[in-house]
Chain A
Amino acid sequence: MGDWWTPAIMPDPSSLDSKELSSISGITMSPSRQNSIRSLHSTITLPKHSYTVLSAFCTEENISQCVSYISQELCSLGLSGVCLEPSGVGEGLNPVAVINLLYELLQLHRRAQRTLSDLETQQLKSSSDLEHMHHCNSRLKDQLEHSRRENSGLHEGERQLQLKIKTLQNCLKSEKEEVQKLQSIIASRATQYSHDAKRKERECAKLKERLNQLLVDKRDKKLAIEMSNCVGRSDGKRGLWKTGKVEARHEGDMYKALLNDYEARQRALVQENSELKKVLQHMKKDMISILSPKKASGTNIQLPEDSLEQAGSDVEEDTCDSSREALEQSCELAREQLTNSIRLQWRRLKSHMEKLDSQASLAASQEEDVVSRREHEEEIQRMRLELQQCKDFIRTQQQLLQQQLSAPCDEETAALLEDCYNLEESERLKEEWRLFNEQRKNFERERKNFTEAAIRLGHERRAFEEDRALWLKNQFLNMTPFADRKRPAVSESHTALSVSTEPEAKLLSTPAPLTKSQSCSGFFTPKAAPARMPSTADLYRTLCLIPESSSSRTHGKRGNSGNQSNNTLTKSRLQTGLTDCSIYSLVGNENSPI
């Protein structure tokens, strides 16, 4: 800041009074305030016309003052002010020290600026942060306000709802009251209505009575029947006088009808009853028949119930006999007996069934696999037997077939024929053996020829290869200059190393043109590759081991392609470097991330 202020003051020192200056110098916090003021005063006192000279800070006259001032200032800045000690006034200034100082100052200045810029950016950042915070704050405030409003709205709603509830409750209460009132009204109306209805009906009845009376009294002339002659009764009998006898007869008829009906009904019921009884008997018999054999077989299965069942069976016998009579008895006792016995048996049957069920379920879980295994084994046995039978069958069939084939000739002729066959066969075998031996000999001869030819071929081949190598060597030696042969090797090493060396080269601040040439050479390597061929070692290698050379060639190609990419990379880097134009900035760039 101090550095900044001084030139600013310079332009119009007249307008500034000493007080202001002192205040400014106070701001600078320099320890040599007096000196600076003095120096300033001296500058102020300088005539106006020598403005260009005046504008300079240091003049011939005040050089020592300036030096001391600067030294002081530098001391205050914490720099080596000692080296600026005015050894000799005027020419005693050590230029190296001054330049160093200047450099240091510059550095300082730069650092300060950097820090300044950092601070500025920081400030900017913080200000933006602040802004953001402000925004956030305002937004949150808005939100808060909004939620408050919402809350109050909800409160209001709640209040209203409660009010509504209250009113509804009131309504309900009033409605209930209304309902009660209405019910009472309805009840009263109903009583009123029934009362009125009765009254009306009575009136009506009275009126009817009166009308009847009137009709009877009036002797309605019109009320009459006109008939040409009376008709006989439908049954052909004469009408009877109404007497007590007739009345009794009617009663009797009525009761007769009723009695008939009841009798018919009773008959139907008895029939139904007997049928049901029959069904019961049947059921009982069936039950007995079902249960009794079970007991015989069941004794070995269930023992705990045995005694009970034994007792039950006795009862059963009794009831069986008694119930047979009961059908005829048809009294309550018999019915009771029958139903009791049925009930007993039914219970037993039920328990038995339950037991059976449980047993069945148990057995099902236990025996299932056992049975299956047994079955399985049986099945296997059976199948084996069958197989055996089949084999036998086949054998016998074969025998029969052979017999049938050999059946036409006798046994003697068969033996004779067999001898003939043997002789013939031995003859044939001998012939074959001879042929075979001949063939073997031929083969061996051929083989020998072949090996000889192979050796000759190998010799020829070697000679040819030697010739070819010689010819190639000559050719290449004539074609390529010696210098050219070395260059690609260097470039190759460079390109191989390029990935690792590049940053180093940069750090070493290698000159741009050199790298460029290198990259260029690297770039041309694929074209230089055929030129590399004539080296004798390579030649031998290629001649001796063709697959290896091919693999190496592919390797080389791959390496070249990698070089290419690397080269392009370096090129781009270089271009960026060129645009920056300064090594420092580049260094700074390189350093900043570190």
Chain B
Amino acid sequence: MNFSEVFKQSNQLCKVSPNGKYLATCVQYRLVVRDVNTLQILHLYSCLDQVGYMEWSSDSLFILCAMYKRGLVQVWSLEQPDWHCKIDEGSIGLVSSRWSPDGRHILNTTEFHLRITVWSLCNKSVSYIKYPKACQKGMDFSSDGRYMALAERRDCKDFISVFVCDDWHLLRHFETETQDLAGVEWSPNCCVLAVWDSCLEYKVLLYSLDGRLLSTYSAYEWSLGVKSIAWSPSSQFLAVGSYDEKVRILNHITWKNLIEFEHPSVITSTKAVVYKEVERRPVVGTEDLSVHHMTMGSSLFNTQSKYEIVPPPVQVPIVKPDPDRANPKIGISSMAFSPDNRYLATRNDNMPQSVWIWDMQRLSLLAVLEQTAPVRCFMWDPCRPRLALCSANAKVYLWSPAGCVSVKVPVEESFQVVSLFWHCSGGILILLGKDQLCLCYMDTEQDK
């Protein structure tokens, strides 16, 4: 494992181009594009204001920089550095901006979710989509980039519009059987659209591409419902995480519940391996202190950590949620399938220090990583069954079926990993600190 030097960034705006060649970072109002391998600056663009959002186009030719405060979007070209494009949303304001899958259109959501403006870079044309719904995930593009599903709200009823992204042709428009639609998500094979209701009601609806209702699933009533949803990459499973601290796996043939994954406070399963992160402070002698005072001074306070396997039963640390507050910190908030469909990683909000890894072949708990600090982010390697996670400290943690490892990031002491993501090749892990970033190169020879 090798680490690059630390670079500056702001708002954690740092993205690798979809083709994996470039790394774009925003520093205040500047956009820096680097070569991933050499880390040399290829381009430097200056935006009009501090960038609020940045995104690569799908063909890695353009970069979109949104300045929400000003209601502005600037687009930069990699091929033609002097080419520029500025989109002004005017007085109505801007809350969200994103590329269409073809990389030639920009979809801007105005304030109050008044409308979505679709700007074309091909012919400067503008089109509007009215009545978009402000919700958890109101818009989703299919993975092949052909279709867009958009949640709408009209006359106190929920609707879904399916657009063809090529020419923004409205393919289907249908009403959903939801009280208050919370999100839409395409299956990876682009044929099924999962729709879920707000947390007040446990309801998952599955629609075909042509608008037919395939199935409705509800696990229980009268209690806070769905919190998150995740498709397996094969579209075979739909994982539904809910406020009752369970993950339910639906199968793609009958859309019935295959199994429930509970997150118990005491792990008694003997098959599951519980990795517990144990911190140990380096022991430093007095002569060491006197000699290397300046160099050791700061690292003295840094702790090393390692994983220990704890035999069951294991008590998982729990944070008791406040029942009187809205959106209580309980339930499954994030789930991720490994790219080979074999594993599912979940996080229960009232057990913030633990990541649960489930085996999808045996449909059982495989491992639990118990960190010393709340887990901020976890991501699967896009090429291998390898999970990287961080918990806002100077360490990065990796899990693979072979075991678990904790790596200290050997850079500036103030660097704390709050977020991370993988390079599309899986060989590089990009670690984001509060206003810095660092690249971590994996040794593919060593890692099996």
Interface residues of A (CB under 8 A from B): 197-198, 201-202, 205, 208, 211-212, 215, 220-235, 239-240, 242, 246-247, 250-251, 253-255, 257-258, 261
Contacts and interface: CB of A to CB of B under 8 A. Distances in A.
Given A211-B92, A212-B115, A257 B191 contact: yes
A246 B167 contact: yes
Nearest to B147: A254
Interface in B104-145: 104, 112, 114-115, 119, 121-124, 126, 130-131
Given A231-B77, A254-B209, 20 more contacts: A205-B154, A212-B130, A222-B88, A224-B87, A224-B88, A225-B86, A225-B87, A226-B88, A228-B85, A231-B62, A231-B104, A234-B103, A234-B104, A242-B167, A246-B167, A247-B169, A250-B169, A257-B146, A257-B190, A258-B191
Counting chain B residues whose Cβ lies within 8 A of the other chain, the interface size class is 35 or more
A585 B131 CA distance: 133
Contacts of B191: 257-258, 261
B189 interface: yes
A220 B121 contact: no
A201 B90 contact: no
A240 B166 CA distance: 10
Nearest to B75: A227
Contacts of A224: 87-88, 90
A254 B171 contact: yes
Interchain residue pairs A-B with the least CB separation, the first 5: A223-B90, A222-B90, A220-B90, A261-B191, A227-B85
B210 interface: yes
20 contacts: A197-B156, A201-B156, A208-B114, A208-B131, A211-B92, A215-B91, A220-B92, A222-B90, A225-B124, A226-B86, A227-B121, A229-B83, A231-B62, A233-B104, A234-B104, A247-B169, A254-B147, A254-B210, A258-B208, A261-B191
A232 B103 CA distance: 10
Contacts of B147: 254
A234 B169 contact: no
Given A201-B153, A234-B104, A246-B167, A228 B58 contact: no
A208 B169 CA distance: 23
A260 to B, nearest CB: 8
Nearest to A231: B121
Interface in B205-263: 208-210
Contacts of A253: 146, 164
Contact of A240 (B87, B102, B126, B167): B167
Contact of A233 (B71, B122, B154): B122
A215 B92 CA distance: 8
A226 B92 CA distance: 18
Given A225-B126, A228-B85, A258 B209 contact: yes
A255 B210 contact: yes
B408 interface: no
Contacts of A255: 210
A230 to B, nearest CB: 6
A234 B167 contact: no
Nearest to A222: B90
A339 B112 CA distance: 61
A235 B166 CA distance: 10
A226 B130 CA distance: 23
A259 to B, nearest CB: 10
Nearest to B172: A254
A211 B112 CA distance: 10
Contacts of B153: 201, 205
Nearest to B92: A215
Contacts, number: 111
Interface in B159-183: 164, 166-167, 169, 171
A261 B189 contact: yes
B59 interface: yes
B387 to A, nearest CB: 28
Contacts of B71: 222
B156 A228 contact: no
Nearest to A255: B210
A202 B154 CA distance: 9
A494 B119 CA distance: 149
A257 B153 CA distance: 28
A23 to B, nearest CB: 104
Interface in B71-102: 71, 77, 82-92, 102
B355 to A, nearest CB: 32
A546 B155 CA distance: 140
Contacts of B87: 224-226
B122 A228 contact: no
Nearest to A227: B85
A234 B102 contact: yes
Contacts of A222: 71, 88-91
Given A250-B164, A258-B191, A228 B84 contact: yes
Contacts of B115: 212
A222 B72 CA distance: 10
Nearest to B102: A234
A211 B115 CA distance: 10
B260 to A, nearest CB: 25
B230 to A, nearest CB: 20
Contacts of A220: 90-92
Select the residue from A221, A232, A233, A242 with max chain B CB neighbours within 10 A: A233
B147 to A, nearest CB: 8
Contacts of B164: 250, 253
A100 to B, nearest CB: 109
B88 A223 contact: yes
A229 B210 CA distance: 37
A250 B209 CA distance: 12
B270 to A, nearest CB: 31
Nearest to A208: B114
A230 B122 contact: yes
Nearest to B154: A205
A197 B157 CA distance: 12
Contacts of A242: 167, 169
B210 A230 contact: no
From B146, B191, B209, residue with most partner A Cβ within 10 Å:
B191
A257 B90 contact: no
B66 to A, nearest CB: 14
A464 to B, nearest CB: 99
A160 B112 CA distance: 64
Contacts of B122: 230-233, 239
B59 A234 contact: yes
Contacts of B85: 225-228
A246 B169 contact: yes
A208 B146 CA distance: 29
Given A212-B130, A257-B191, A258-B209, A230 B88 contact: no
A239 B167 CA distance: 8
A9 B102 CA distance: 153
A223 B71 CA distance: 10
Contacts of B91: 215, 220, 222
Contacts of A233: 102, 104, 122
Q: Which of A223, A232, A255 has the most CB of B within 10 A?
A: A223
A49 to B, nearest CB: 121
A198 B156 contact: yes
Contacts of A197: 156
A221 B92 CA distance: 12
A230 B92 CA distance: 25
Interface in B28-66: 58-59, 62
A246 B71 CA distance: 34
Contacts of B102: 233-235
Contacts of B156: 197-198, 201-202
A232 B83 CA distance: 13
A227 B73 CA distance: 12
Nearest to A229: B83
Contacts of A261: 189-191
Contacts of A254: 147, 171, 209-210
B210 A258 contact: yes
A195 to B, nearest CB: 10
Contacts of A239: 122-123, 167
